[in-house]
């Protein structure tokens, strides 16, 4: 009879951080961003497209980037873009802020979504 040894993995994370079971990969996130997000968003400071520039988005209050015309629901959401709020938003914008004009249905792949967030974390001075 063969015996199987099961090893339980325990995930520890600091309060306020995303509980993920894998390492985030900013370079992989950059590729996902270019393939999906860059259709509507730029990763360049001060350059908006159909969607606002995502340069410096982490830590910014929702609906406050100067020079972009946000929907009233996004302006009124009062969210700070943290890893947690970005995770929810990128997964399902319409569920996170009902009535948003963002028509993207969401990135359901946890690894890709967390990699994109890791990339967004690199976009600052």
Domain limits for position 97: 26-120
| 39 part of a folded domain | yes
pLDDT value for 22: 55
pLDDT value for 14: 39
Q: Give yes or no for residue 19 having a pLDDT over 50.
A: no
Q: Report the distance separating Cα 104 and Cα 92, nearest Å.
A: 8
Q: Give yes or no for residue 7 having a pLDDT over 90.
A: no
| 9 part of a folded domain | no
pLDDT confidence of 28, banded at 50, 70, 90? very high
**What are phi and psi for residue 80, nearest 5 degrees?**
-100, 130
CATH code of residue 98 = 1.10.760.10
| 4 part of a folded domain | no
| 11 part of a folded domain | no
pLDDT value for 125: 87
Averaged confidence pLDDT in the chain? 87
pLDDT confidence of 23, banded at 50, 70, 90? confident
The proportion of the chain whose per-residue pLDDT surpasses 90, expressed as a percent, equals: 80
Q: Report the distance separating Cα 119 and Cα 113, nearest Å.
A: 10
Q: Give yes or no for residue 21 having a pLDDT over 60.
A: no
Which residue did the predictor score with more confidence, 17 or 82?
A: 82
| pTM as predicted | 0.81
Q: Which of 107, 64, 111, 59 is nearest to 85 (CA)?
A: 59
| 5 part of a folded domain | no
- Report how many domains make up the chain: 1
Mean pLDDT of 84-90: 98
Q: Give yes or no for residue 17 having a pLDDT over 60.
A: no
């Amino acid at each position: 009879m063969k015996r199987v040894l099961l090893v339980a993995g325990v995930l520890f994370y600091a309060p306020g951080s995303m509980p993920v079971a894998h390492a985030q990969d900013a370079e992989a996130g950059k590729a996902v961003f270019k393939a999906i997000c860059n259709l509507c968003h730029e990763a360049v400071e001060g350059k908006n497209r159909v969607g606002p520039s995502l340069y410096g988005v982490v830590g910014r209050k929702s609906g406050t980037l100067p020079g972009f015309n946000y929907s009233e629901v996004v302006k009124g959401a009062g969210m700070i873009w943290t890893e947690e709020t970005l995770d929810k938003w990128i997964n399902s914008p319409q569920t996170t802020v009902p009535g948003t004009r963002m028509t993207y249905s969401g990135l359901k792949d946890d690894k890709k979504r967390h990699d994109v967030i890791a990339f967004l974390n690199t976009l600052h001075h």
